[in-house]
Structure formats: C-alpha cells, structure tokens
Amino acid sequence: MIKKIQLFLLLTFITNALNAQILKPVKWTFASKKLNDKEAVIFMKATIDKGWHLYAQNMSEGGPIPTKFTFTPSKTHSISGKTIEPKSKSSYEKVFSMNVSYFDNEVVFQQRIKLNGVNTIVKGTVEFMACDNIQCTPPTEVDFAIQIK
C-alpha cells in the first residue's frame, strides 16, 4: 500500500512539473466591426509576454514559423484580400542566421470580410511560433470563431 502511495505521489509530482513547463507567451483575443450590410472587419489581437517575439506573416525559408491565418469557408461570408498586419520590427537572429520580422508586446491583425448573409460567424485557425532570447515555442494553433454583429 505504501508503494502505491509513493508511486501516486511521484506521478502527481511529475505531472505537475510537466504542466509547469508549458509555455504560453502569446494570448489571442478576437473581435469584429460591421462596416455596412455587405462588409466587416475582424480583428485578431496577440498579446505577447515581455521578452518574447511573435513572427510576422511573411518569412524567408529557414526562418521561424510565420504567423498564418486560415479561414474556414462558409456560405455566409468570403475573405476579402489578405490579412493586414502593422509594420513589424526586424533584427538579425543568430539561431536562424538571418534577419527576421517580428512583433513584441502586442499586435492587431485585420481581415476584411464580405458578408453574404446574416448571423455570420467567421471561423478559422491562427498558427504561430514565439521565441525569446533562450527558447522557442513549438508551432501552435489556436482556433477562433468571431461573431459579426
């Protein structure tokens, strides 16, 4: 019985230690603004922990995973143009042996949507990678569903 308790405590300790290692330096929030009956803009905001970078959408081969938005096709709306991002910072990163474009603190991406119906919900996924001066997160995907009001 004592060995079972010891094993249980050991497994609990290992599980807690592993959960403490999960890094989530980027938090996402989503919103929308209806421009008129036929068009809306969705906003995808990344809040980035201090010391971390989120990478821009356009990145050269051999660099970090760029931020990528994928939108689920729907009869109630269509994507209009490319996802817009503000001007990024750029610097040389030794780990990638190249200049990379990135954001720190926070960034808001925007996507125009053409509306084909009412009660529109824009669904999709954002894939991204974040690094600090010591480590990088693995490529991460976050699903979203944004109600157009």
The pLDDT score that the predictor gives to residue 117 is 79
- Asked whether the predicted pLDDT for residue 4 surpasses 50, the reply is no
DSSP-derived letter for residue 139 is: P
Please write the tens of the pLDDT for every residue from 83-125: 999 999 999 988 889 999 999 999 999 999 999 978 899 999 9
- Asked whether the predicted pLDDT for residue 78 surpasses 70, the reply is yes
Domains and CATH numbers, the chain: 24-147 (2.60.40.1250)
Range with the lowest mean pLDDT among 18-22, 32-36, 117-121, 139-143?
18-22
The pLDDT score that the predictor gives to residue 24 is 95
The pLDDT score that the predictor gives to residue 21 is 59
Mean pLDDT over all residues of the chain? 88
CA dist list (Å): 65 to 18, 56, 69, 90:
24, 9, 12, 15
- Asked whether the predicted pLDDT for residue 64 surpasses 50, the reply is yes
The pLDDT score that the predictor gives to residue 23 is 87
On whether the CB atoms of residues 137 and 131 are closer than 8 A, the answer is: yes
Round to whole Å and give the CA distance between 45 and 149: 18
> Which residue would you say has higher pLDDT here, 121 or 16?
121
The pLDDT score that the predictor gives to residue 18 is 43
CA dist list (Å): 27 to 20, 23, 140, 142:
17, 11, 11, 10
